[in-house]
Amino acid sequence: MKHIVIIGNGISGITAARHIRKLSSYRITVISSETKHFYSRTALMYIYMGHMNYENTKPYEDYFWKKNKIDLVFDHVNKVETASKSLQLQSGNTIEYDSLIIASGSKSNKFGWPGQHLQGVQGLYSYNDLLQMETITRKTKRAVIVGGGLIGIEMAEMLLSRNISVTFLVREPEFWSNVLPLQDANLISRHVRSHHVDLKLRSELQEIQADENGWVKSVTTHTGEIIPCQFVGLTVGVSPNIEFLKNSGIETKSGVLVDEYLQTNVEDVYALGDCVQRSYELPGRKTIEQVWYTGRMMGEVVAQTVCGEKTKYQPGPWFNSAKFFNIEYQTYGNVWPDLKAEEDEYYWEHPSGQKAMHIVWNKHSLLFLGINAFGIRLRHECFDRWLREKRDVTHVVRHLREANFDPEFFTRHENEIQESIALKFPSLKISSLV
Ligand SMILES: Cc1cc2nc3c(=O)[nH]c(=O)nc-3n(C[C@H](O)[C@H](O)[C@H](O)COP(=O)(O)OP(=O)(O)OC[C@H]3O[C@@H](n4cnc5c(N)ncnc54)[C@H](O)[C@@H]3O)c2cc1C
């Protein structure tokens, strides 16, 4: 019987395994060295904050795997030998495959800072990182987080939940302004500060110093400022976890290179999720996308292909969501940090500084290009449809109310937004309807 081996039991590998099981009776083996069972990585922060325990983060009960004939191997793949179609495991065991699916995820970036390997310095990616953070921060009074992205802000919220003071070193002029336009990023900077985080913008880590026992005692910034601390969180992004593929013959750049069927250059070897770099372009999408839902989509797609129905990966318009303390963020389409020459934009912010909307369109064709929403929930289905149907901005603004997903008793702002955009851009002809 055909043997499908999957490296990685995260959302990508597990979605592939589940869908292959639905479509076939192939033998399926999932190998992972992080945890025995699949858990939700996005819930790590809630374990630390006491809202959940590890068991609650497992989407499936432990009996699910045996019942569905999915073999789980808790081991590390040291080497992939594509010529003999076999894997060398840390335990000394060898596993042979007919088809291999690599879903090995990401690892936290470290940029060679002096002191980055000291005790008390870590990233946040794995369950083990969480356990380590749990132990180390028991006695932490002050922490420094380096890098202002989505994992950094989660780490700040985690530490604050235990009354640990947080200093945030962020290289950009505003929080996450390498991704968000300045207005949006400024709103988030203000919100972060309102949570008593010592946010230092345009600030870079120079060096981490140790005490006499090898534990972190302070960091120095590029301006020479010394900040005493007992914990340093390095949250300067993640990159594909692919070192073990060296010399395997599987082509990699920053990630494992795949074609539109998620196939690598080697026959019967596929790759999915965070570890992947698409070798071809898709409009409005990056070639490496390290988010939960793309891993899940890829898992569904590859299952079809492996089971004989060759299927292209077509993720459609970009979307994402996150939370910055109390402010929920959603993005649909493309709102780049810098407005492009052919684009126009409208930014609306509520006086509370807790809600905002940023709409971008093509100034010549009026084609709607993307939206960022903060503190206002939008319906994914509406924006996905409008983007696929290539609607113009007038249509989108006129139908904003339809896209609002806030609970009934929430204050609505569509009229206000429509009126002010109509005033600023009379040529959009929105005013006739508001
Ligand atoms: C703290 C945190 C919060 C996040 N929050 C969000 C969010 O809110 N929304 C969102 O969209 N995304 C979020 N992400 C990103 C999201 O979790 C990832 O995009 C997703 O988990 C990637 O899934 P994956 O299956 O591709 O890889 P992973 O989940 O990384 O799974 C890969 C697994 O393979 C194992 N592995 C790797 N190499 C080997 C080997 N050689 N041998 C054996 N096992 C191996 C790894 O240990 C790992 O367990 C978050 C990430 C983190 C760290």
Contact 125, 155 (CB under 8 A): no
Would you state the pLDDT for residue 231? 98
Specify the amino acid at residue 111: F
Contact 144, 227 (CB under 8 A): yes
Would you state the pLDDT for residue 429? 82
Contact 158, 150 (CB under 8 A): no
Pairing verdict, β 86-89 and 77-81: antiparallel
Protein residue with least CA distance to atom 6, ligand 1: 42
SS3 383: helix
Find, among 88, 86, 92, 105, the residue nearest to 3 by Cα. Answer: 86
SS3 335: coil
Per-residue pLDDT of the chain in tens (434 residues, 90 and over written 9): 999 999 999 999 999 999 999 999 999 999 999 999 999 999 999 999 999 999 999 999 999 999 999 999 999 999 999 999 999 999 999 999 999 999 999 999 999 999 999 999 999 999 999 999 999 999 999 999 999 899 999 999 999 999 999 999 999 999 999 999 999 999 999 999 999 999 999 999 999 999 999 999 999 999 999 999 999 999 999 999 999 999 999 999 999 999 999 999 999 999 999 999 999 999 999 999 999 999 999 999 999 999 999 999 999 999 999 999 999 999 999 999 999 999 999 999 999 999 999 999 999 999 999 999 999 999 999 999 999 999 999 999 999 989 988 776 677 888 899 999 999 999 888 765 54
Tokens, residue 174? 């505003």
**Can you tell me which atom of ligand 1 is nearest the CA of 274?**
26
CB atoms within 10 A of CB 283: 7
Q: Residue 160 and residue 166: Cα distance in Å, rounded?
A: 7
**Can you tell me which atom of ligand 1 is nearest the CA of 273?**
26
SS3 362: strand
Q: Residue 127 and residue 327: Cα distance in Å, rounded?
A: 26
CB atoms within 10 A of CB 251: 14
Length of the chain equals 434
Q: Residue 396 and residue 383: Cα distance in Å, rounded?
A: 8
**Can you tell me which atom of ligand 1 is nearest the CA of 238?**
53
Instruction: List strands edge to edge, sheet with 231-234.
Output: 121-122, 231-234, 142-146, 165-169, 198-200
Contact 183, 270 (CB under 8 A): no
Contact 110, 129 (CB under 8 A): no
Protein residue with least CA distance to atom 53, ligand 1: 125
Give me ligand 1 centre to Cα 6, in Å. 14
Would you state the pLDDT for residue 434? 47
Would you state the pLDDT for residue 433? 52
Rg of the chain over Cα atoms, rounded to whole angstroms, equals 23
Q: Residue 250 and residue 82: Cα distance in Å, rounded?
A: 8
Provide residues with CB under 6 Å of ligand 1: 7-13, 31-34, 41-42, 44, 76-77, 103-106, 124-125, 151, 154, 241, 244, 273-274, 290-293, 295, 322
Find, among 20, 7, 6, 4, the residue nearest to 307 by Cα. Answer: 20
Q: Residue 304 and residue 274: Cα distance in Å, rounded?
A: 20
Contact 257, 279 (CB under 8 A): yes
Tens digit of each residue's pLDDT (9 = 90 or more) over 101-155: 999 999 999 999 999 999 999 999 999 999 999 999 999 999 999 998 999 999 9
Q: What is the DSSP letter of 185?
A: H
* Secondary element (H or E) of residue 398: helix 393-398
Best residue among 44, 89, 104 to mutate for probing ligand 1's pocket (most ligand atoms within 8 Å of CB) is 104
pTM for the structure as a whole: 0.96
User: What residue has token string 């070639």?
Assistant: 287
